[in-house]
Chains A and B, each alone.
Chain A
Amino acid sequence: MKRNPLRLAEDRVLVEQLRLVLGNVGSSVIPAFLAAILMLWVLSKPDNEVGLGIWCAVVILSKLGCYFHARYHLRKGIPFGYAHLLVGQLLFLNALDAAIWSALCWVTLDTASMTGRSLVFAVLTGIAGSSMSLLAPVLPLFVVFIIAELLVVVSKLFLMGDGSYDALGLASILYGVTLIGQARNSALAASVAVVLRFELADSHARLREIEHRQTLAQERQRLMQDMHDGLGSSLRSALLAIEKGRIDAFMVAEVLKDCIDDLKLAIDSMEPVQADLLLLLATLRFRLGPRLESAGIVLSWEVDHVPALDWIDQRNALHILRILQEAFTNIIKHTQASKIRVVTSVTDVCVLVMIIDNGQGFSVEQGISSAGKGLGNQIRRAEAIGAEIRWESSAAGTNLTLYLPIKR
């Protein structure tokens, strides 16, 4: 990754880097105040009192300016198009801030004691170091800061006209260069972190998108299959019968009612039932109840608490609904029953749903082996959800039991 370390990153990354820098500004305000007031207190002498006072006020104002500028932009948010302009503003503010700090040399160096001078340099060194950690996410900001600071400090040192100050000036320049090297490293680390974060977010978004598409595809597949087996085949056979003139208006109405019931259950199955088998049975009763009533069949609802079946998702819910719907339609159409009992019970491994009618019964072997899709369809659907279905039928009625596993 060889590139000009001073070049600004792409807008999206730059905005994050700027947010890091702006976020850092707040933490530097109080130390800066303390440093400035400390200087004022320690170094104040009758002959530099005014100058030092002004300096202290200007430092505090400058820092406050930086702070409110940062806070304003953090609150408002940084639009991509604005990032470069903001960098410009920050370059100016930081150059100014650096110049103001280092003006301390010009104010105090001539009059201060040896200790005082050491203190001045300790503070300026500290400010340079803390600015590095503050501004490192956007390297040019720190470069401008350190250059401005060095210019003001070193120019004063050389003007002192003393060999040891010249040496100190050179040492300052060396220190500045070292700091820039350091800042470059931490800038790299910061930008890698920001870029990685974006890449991670991007790949998460991509994964979610793929997942979403898969869910949609599965849902489409599920509904297609259901329409093909249910609605589609009912409509096709009705159409065929009408074309051959073998069906009257009453029978057409019956077929259409079946189709509408089919549709309603398909729509209900799109609502998440959250493993609640009784809710599923309730929905079925709510939808088919009117049909049973108009057929003169009394429904006895004998359900009791059953454990949650975690494997019931939308696809499995529709299978269960269709198996039981078929059971009810078979009873209405073929058995002349007057009473249906719906009973649930629980064993160690299964939840049982029993549909017991008092109709005329039928031969189970024949029902399963015959070409008609009725019982075969129910068996196929039960297998698809890992359940089992059994019939016991006699002249006194039929008992259908659906065995639903508790764990799958």
Chain B
Amino acid sequence: MQTPISSFPICVALVEDDMDFQQVLCDSINSASDMVLVSVASTRAQGLKALDGVQADVLLVDLGLPDGSGIDVIRAAHIRWPNCSIMVSTAFGDEMHVMQSLEAGAAGYLLKDSAAKSTVTEIRNIHQGGSPISPLIARQILMRFWDPNKPTPDTAKLTPEKACVVLSAREQEVLEFITKGFTLDEIAGLILVSRNTIQTFVRRIYSKLQVKSKTEAIYEARNQGLLE
């Protein structure tokens, strides 16, 4: 993992208002030979403006910005830079903040108290398609996708918006292992697939979550429109 596969450096963009943490991030990215810092913003406005510039491979966003929520930046970046891996930086990696970010299009998160060295590792990891996932998030996702009346072909016909995004049996199995405390490596061993496959499972689960929350929002809005 130390030696990057690609000869191109990883372009990293930052949106972070905590000056100390911003400094730590800048220092560790600048000292990594395989990374280039393309933009640094400390407000929501600057962050949105940076999306007009050079497209980054990894975007690191803080949620609590002085002039608004980083969620807006994540949402905009997800549309403007579809190939960019978005990472949210959070103090505690708590369920609420992480779920919000994932639903907006983030693919992972970075704990603010991680050591400087593991920060660059995390950036490399997400760039290569790896996404961290905590047991509480896994449980939350299982609950979001849980359907009391198992999706039979009939119900799929009835509510196409809701039924189109479902977890595959394998994805569900992986999430259940995560809620029991197994690491991705252990799960790869348990269900006899490679670690890379497990990583793509997690990424795919995250993008399904994002699609689901988006279609649900549209569905909700349409329902509201009917009621009004």
Contacts and interface: CB of A to CB of B under 8 A. Distances in A.
B134 A283 contact: yes
Given A264-B92, A276-B179, A278-B181, A301 B135 contact: no
B94 A267 contact: yes
B135 A283 contact: yes
Contacts of B216: none
A359 to B, nearest CB: 22
Contact of B95 (A257, A263, A271, A342): A271
A285 interface: yes
Nearest to A284: B181
A86 interface: no
Nearest to A261: B113
Contacts of A289: 183
A260, A276, A279, A342, most chain B CB atoms within 10 A: A279
Contact of B139 (A260, A279, A284, A301): A279
Contacts of B178: 282
A301 B135 CA distance: 14
Contacts of A271: 95, 136
A264 B94 CA distance: 8
A264 B113 CA distance: 11
Given A257-B113, A301-B186, A268 B179 contact: no
A309 interface: no
B93 interface: yes
A276 B113 CA distance: 28
A281 B136 contact: no
* Interface class of chain B by DSSP: loop
B94, B114, B139, B186, most chain A CB atoms within 10 A: B139
Interface string B178-193: 1111110010000000
Nearest to B177: A282
A32 interface: no
Contacts of A276: 139, 179
B113 A282 contact: no
A343 B227 CA distance: 53
Contact of B181 (A257, A260, A264, A285): A285
A286 B180 contact: no
A303 interface: yes
B92 A286 contact: no
Interface string B113-127: 110001000000000
Interface of A: 257, 260, 263-264, 267-268, 271, 276, 278-279, 281-286, 289-290, 301, 303, 342
16 contacts: A263-B92, A264-B93, A271-B95, A276-B179, A278-B179, A278-B180, A279-B139, A279-B179, A279-B180, A281-B180, A281-B181, A283-B135, A286-B134, A286-B135, A286-B181, A301-B183
Given A268-B136, A278-B179, A290-B118, 6 more contacts: A267-B92, A268-B95, A276-B139, A282-B182, A285-B135, A303-B180
